[in-house]
Chain A
Amino acid sequence: MSVAVQSPQKPFINIGLVKSHIIVGFVFLVVAMLAGILYSLQLNNLYPFVGIELLSPGRIRMVHTNGVAYGFILNVFLGALYWVVPRLTKRRILSDLLGWLIFWVYLFIVLWAVVGILTGHAQAVEWGETPNMFSPNGSILFPIDTLVMVGLILIAIQFLTPIFQFGSKQPMYVSLWYFSVAFIWVILTYAMGNYLPEFIPGAGGATFVGLYIHDLVGLLVTPLGWGMMYYFVPSLLKKPIWSHAVSLLGFWGLAFFYPLQGVHHFIYSTIPMFAQFGAVVSTVAIEVMVVTVFINFFMTLRGREIAPVTNIPIRWFYTGMIFYVVTCIQCAVHVQFWAQEFIHFTDWVVGHAHLIMFGTFGFWLIGITTDLWPRVLGKKNWWAPVLHESVFWMCTIGLASMFIGLTSAGLVEGFLWKGLAPWEVSLQSVKLIWLFRTATGLLMFAGVLLFIFNMIMTAISPEQEHVGAASPVASPAK
């Protein structure tokens, strides 16, 4: 009904917000990866800061997981949302002022959460260790979870307003379906996971912790990620997505089955068995939906099979999708009770988590940044496009070998435990694999540092002529 409101003073896209969120996201990625490498050194008994309370490995581990989720992934997604949502809704975001408020408040919250975790005020919710006042070891100084709730509501207001204005009167593009639900899901998920377990003991509380761990991936990161893919892939390939009907199937399948599976993180625990069976059934069901989305994207590639070779962002996206489908098929298998008997509590699960968080969402976000970074700087191309090849292969080889290493370590541990070998044997048996894991982590870290070096050089070096993998400027998807 209405056309884009575009006053001459205010550009359609707030480039400053896109840029700032991406920069902060990558700064936190460096911090989080450094924390992960430090923690892996502890498993090799090579930890450099022995006896320093504030750098205790247990606390550093929480900086790693939370830093990746809230520091890196959400920040870069926010940057990309400031780029994508105005294009899809034909409207500016609600308010630039609100945008900058969210940016600075969010930065403060993440930093303050790191302080809270390092001073020992973490909450006993996996992936939600951000300090909570109501936690038994909480402090009034670190009401992080409450601040995050306020922040998430502000983010929802910021993006849902233009989506509502556009989408309540006409059908929306697929990306906006995912974005519409992601913001309300994360508010509900965060409130459920960070408050209820503090008041419900034992099995009941564990149910909500399981739902939280799962929903943070499934109901925030996954819908934002696929929403971005539905925008960036067609716009870079310059052709529409293969099937609209299959998009519908994928979206509604995810929306229905994903929230039902959280309990599968506690198979064979004291949670009632009916809940465990239900979670396993819906986990297998969603993998069918995942395959439909996968087919949709790979059929879109038909006729452009060369694109992942020539176009670097497309290569990151499709590699991420392959890792995604590997993770999901793996999930449908190892969620089974017979598999849980062996692989629960082992390094197998750690490998699985790295594959999805770095292999899929990390790759997609690096791909998005590869596409957006020169544009938000107003440059034609990267400082050294050829470096992308090295970054890609360092990250891919590093991640794939880490996944294979941790998966095999998990099998070794699982069978030794069931075989009643002394506990020490299970540690000694995976010693070399743990050393190898640190090496693969260092390879991925070096790749990311190289990418950031390229980002910095692109920003500071004067414009010059380049040849190579220049990606043309994308038009809005519709």
Chain B
Amino acid sequence: MEKIVEKFQFIFLVAGVGFFVLAFFVSGIVTVNAVSDLPYTSLDEISQDVSPYFTALARQYPDQFEKYYPGGPTSENYREALNLGRNVYIGEACWHCHTQQVRPVANEDVRFGPVSTAAEQQNELMKPQLMGTRRVGPDLSRESGFRSNDWHVAHFFNPRAVSPVSVMPRYTWFYDGRVPNKKGLAIITYMQWLGSNVEQQ
């Protein structure tokens, strides 16, 4: 009887299933529950307010914009560009070198802007979350309006052209020749959205 702790049934059920489920509830479910009453914003709601930077892209690259987002800077096109931009951000693993969270320590609010809150992250573009765990480059959660569209166009094509010591890779496949293509317009739209839902100081 005292050897029951060394038998399969006990170990499998208590350690294997029991302790995992316990931790799943204590760490996971309780935490999710704590933020679950914060209002959630869907992509449809986000794209209602078309960003002026998206409109500006339509003016700056009229041929490219008409080719990839026919109909001009409408809500539908804005939605499509935001979604594609976020997908490119995931697929290229931008989130391995850039974070999307400003912590309340280490002078991060001085460097990047207001400290991140759980409420601002309850939206469809943070599903899956892209908070990140490593910063080779700076945090991007307050990126909206920090740089111009032109800066982003030059930067994605060759980061060293505008930031000489940057170690960011070149993303030449965001371009048709030297003008941004569908992915390029989308990732810039997404960059210019990040943090636009937060009150800036």
Contact = CB atoms under 8 A, between A and B. Distances in A.
Interface of A: 42-45, 47, 50-51, 53, 56-59, 61-62, 120-126, 129, 135-137, 160, 163-164, 166-172, 176-177, 180-181, 184-185, 188-189, 192, 196-209, 211, 213, 219, 248, 251-252, 255-256, 259-263, 265-266, 268-272, 274-275, 278-279, 340-342, 344-346, 349-350, 413-414, 417-420, 423-424, 427-428
B128 A135 contact: yes
Nearest to B159: A45
A135 B165 contact: no
B23 A260 contact: yes
Given A168-B8, A268-B104, A207 B116 contact: no
A248 B5 contact: yes
B34 A184 contact: no
A345 B95 CA distance: 12
Given A278-B27, A345-B133, A202 B121 contact: yes
B129 interface: yes
A340 B83 CA distance: 33
A199 B130 CA distance: 13
A200 B134 contact: no
Contact of A136 (B83, B104, B122, B133): B83
Interface stretch (B13-21, B44-52, B56-64, B68-76): B13-21
B144 interface: no
A120 B93 CA distance: 9
Contacts of B169: 42, 47, 50, 56-58
Interface SS of A by simple majority: helix
27 contacts: A53-B173, A56-B169, A58-B93, A58-B97, A59-B92, A122-B91, A125-B128, A135-B128, A167-B11, A168-B7, A168-B9, A170-B7, A181-B11, A188-B24, A192-B28, A200-B127, A201-B121, A209-B129, A211-B27, A255-B16, A260-B26, A261-B27, A269-B131, A270-B116, A270-B121, A420-B111, A427-B136
Nearest to A260: B23
A201 B15 contact: no
A177 B11 contact: yes
B126 interface: yes
B198 interface: no
B155 to A, nearest CB: 14
B167 A43 contact: yes
Contacts of B111: 417, 420
Contacts of A268: 103-105
A59 B14 CA distance: 39
Q: Which of A166, A252, A349 has the most CB of B within 10 A?
A: A252
B: contact size bracket: 35 or more
B165 A424 contact: yes
Interface in B158-188: 160, 163-167, 169-173
Nearest to A420: B107
A90 to B, nearest CB: 14
Interface in B25-40: 26-28, 30-32, 34-36, 40
A345 B134 contact: yes
Contacts of B30: 275
B82 to A, nearest CB: 11
B88 to A, nearest CB: 8
B35 A208 contact: no
The 7 A-B residue pairs with the shortest CB-CB distance in the complex, in nearest-first order = A202-B121, A167-B8, A259-B23, A137-B87, A120-B91, A171-B6, A255-B15
B99 A58 contact: no
Contacts of B14: 255
A188 B25 CA distance: 13
B167 A45 contact: yes
B27 A185 contact: no
Contacts of B123: 201-202
Given A137-B87, A259-B19, A427-B167, A198 B121 contact: no
Contact of B121 (A197, A203, A341): A203
Given A184-B16, A269-B116, A420-B111, A203 B133 contact: no
A196 B128 CA distance: 9
Contacts of B164: 424
Contacts of B172: 50-51
A33 to B, nearest CB: 18
A126 B133 contact: yes
Contacts of B23: 211, 259-260, 262
A180 B167 contact: no
A199 B105 CA distance: 29
B145 interface: no
Contacts of A346: 134-135
Contacts of B40: 201
Q: Which of B31, B91, B92 has the most CB of A within 10 A?
A: B91
